[in-house]
């Protein structure tokens, strides 16, 4: 198999965990099948000032000025402004991303897979100028598509759902350049698991209705209030890298709550849960869908996360109550109505792409999906 494709570069950007996790899922999938891709954080090959401003600027904007961010997000998504915006971005990348350009030019890769629009634009410009002849495949890591993802040098876009594909076509992308594969999630999320035995392994009560509360690094007041409203439920709280939140949650630990920092077994945490409460990032949604676990959304960032919610709502998946009380009420409804919980699971399963990695690798290396999927099940 390795003779089919000699050199594969996986590019992501450490501006939000989802882009990185998508690239890592593909990296794991390729290595399981005998390939040796190179995985690179594109931002690590940019000017340090640019890198710091890129990451911290985004975090500060969505935390302190969310409505301003929403306005900027919508403004830059205006199709008629795309040529001007792309020209400005190309100039910025030419000044700040020369190390990344050198890496790509000197690497002589056969295929480059990008899970972030920054690396797509850099590689796309090199393709447009015929500076490289590597095939460029872009994996869109959300359920809606901002025009910033589009680049003339892309050979193939791999997207989350049929509605995502239709949006790409509406933006003028040729049908032959768009394929629905689902967002890549680590294949651990598709391993069938017994919910009760998974709970026992995690030290949880196997018979309790269980809620996973997956937070972000932004703030903690709403998380604490929501946990208090759900004190009579078995709740797994993932604080991630938010150390202040972790300490505060531990200080107020409730008997039925399990508090964690960043975890490496999110697949088990989701598999143990009846419902996931989370911010609507593309990768988190895809992981829950692959695990067939219903979603309740909170704290959507204006812009892409709000659009993710809109797309999921069109499929009858997930709810986004307008208040913490509303979220708690939805959890109680699902916990007391087996029919509602079963129907939520069925809708989740209908949109899930559990073989997303296998489907993407089929496009990358031309191996039949059946063969790839059989490898996952072993």
Domains defined for the chain, CATH in brackets: 8-183+355-377 (3.40.50), 188-351 (3.40.50.2000)
The strand pairing partners of 40, in sequence order, are 11
For position 111, what pLDDT does the model report? 95
Taking alpha carbons only, the member of 250, 300, 294 closest to residue 270 is 294
Report the run of H or E that residue 156 belongs to, with start and end: strand 156-159
Report d(CA 306, CA 328) in Å as an integer.
Answer: 20
Q: Would you state the structure tokens that stand for residue 7, as one six-digit string?
A: 């050199």
For position 216, what pLDDT does the model report? 60
For position 220, what pLDDT does the model report? 57
Q: Helix, strand, coil % (nearest 5) of the chain?
A: 55, 10, 35
- Strand order across the 210-214 sheet: 257-260, 234-238, 210-214, 275-278, 295-297
Q: Alpha-carbon Rg of the chain, whole angstroms?
A: 21
Alpha-carbon torsion 257, 258, 263, 264, what sign?
negative
pLDDT at 298 over 50: yes
pLDDT band at 55 (very low <50, low <70, confident <90, very high): confident
Report d(CA 115, CA 126) in Å as an integer.
Answer: 17
Q: Would you state the structure tokens that stand for residue 15, as one six-digit string?
A: 């501006």
Q: Would you state the structure tokens that stand for residue 105, as one six-digit string?
A: 């030019």
Within 10 A of 82 (CB to CB), how many other CB atoms are there? 16
Mean pLDDT in the chain? Answer: 89
Could you report the per-residue pLDDT of 134-173, keeping only the tens digit for each? 999 999 999 999 999 999 899 999 999 999 999 999 999 9
Q: Are 22 and 283 in contact (CB under 8 A)?
A: yes
pLDDT at 286 over 90: yes
Averaged pLDDT for residues 225-247:
91
Lowest average pLDDT, out of 33-42, 89-98, 189-198, goes to: 89-98
């Amino acid at each position: 198999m390795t003779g089919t494709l000699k050199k594969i570069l996986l590019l992501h950007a450490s501006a939000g965990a989802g882009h990185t996790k998508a690239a890592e899922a593909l990296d794991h999938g390729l290595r399981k099948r005998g390939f040796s891709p190179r995985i690179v954080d594109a931002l690590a090959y940019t000017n340090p000032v640019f890198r710091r401003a890129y990451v911290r600027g985004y975090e500060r904007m969505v935390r302190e000025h969310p409505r301003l961010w929403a306005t900027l997000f919508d403004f830059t998504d205006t199709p008629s402004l795309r040529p001007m915006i792309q020209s400005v971005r190309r100039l910025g990348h030419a000044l700040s991303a020369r190390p990344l350009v050198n890496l790509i030019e000197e690497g002589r890769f056969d295929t480059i897979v990008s899970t972030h629009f920054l690396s797509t634009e850099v590689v796309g410009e090199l393709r447009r100028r015929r500076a490289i002849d590597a095939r460029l495949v872009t994996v869109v890591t959300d359920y809606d598509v901002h025009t910033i993802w589009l680049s003339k040098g892309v050979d193939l876009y791999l997207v989350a759902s049929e509605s995502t594909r239709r949006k790409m076509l509406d933006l003028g992308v040729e049908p032959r350049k768009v394929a629905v594969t689902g967002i890549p999630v680590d294949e651990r999320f598709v391993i069938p698991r017994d919910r009760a035995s998974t709970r026992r392994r995690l030290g949880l009560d196997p018979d309790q209705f269980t809620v996973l509360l997956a937070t972000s690094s932004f703030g903690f007041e709403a998380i604490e209030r929501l946990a208090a409203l759900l004190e009579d439920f078995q709740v797994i709280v993932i604080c991630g890298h938010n150390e202040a939140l972790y300490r505060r949650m531990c200080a107020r630990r409730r008997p039925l709550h399990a508090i964690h920092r960043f975890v490496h077994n999110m697949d088990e945490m989701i598999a143990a849960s009846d419902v996931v409460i989370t911010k609507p990032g593309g990768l988190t949604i895809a992981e829950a869908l692959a695990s067939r676990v219903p979603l309740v959304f909170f704290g959507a960032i204006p812009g892409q996360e709000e659009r993710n919610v809109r797309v999921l709502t069109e499929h009858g998946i997930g709810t986004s109550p307008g208040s913490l009380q509303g979220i708690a009420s939805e959890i109680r409804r699902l916990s007391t109505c087996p029919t509602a919980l079963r129907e939520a699971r069925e809708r989740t399963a209908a949109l899930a792409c559990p073989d997303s990695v296998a489907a993407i690798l089929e496009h990358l290396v031309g191996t039949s999906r059946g063969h790839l999927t059989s490898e996952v099940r072993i």
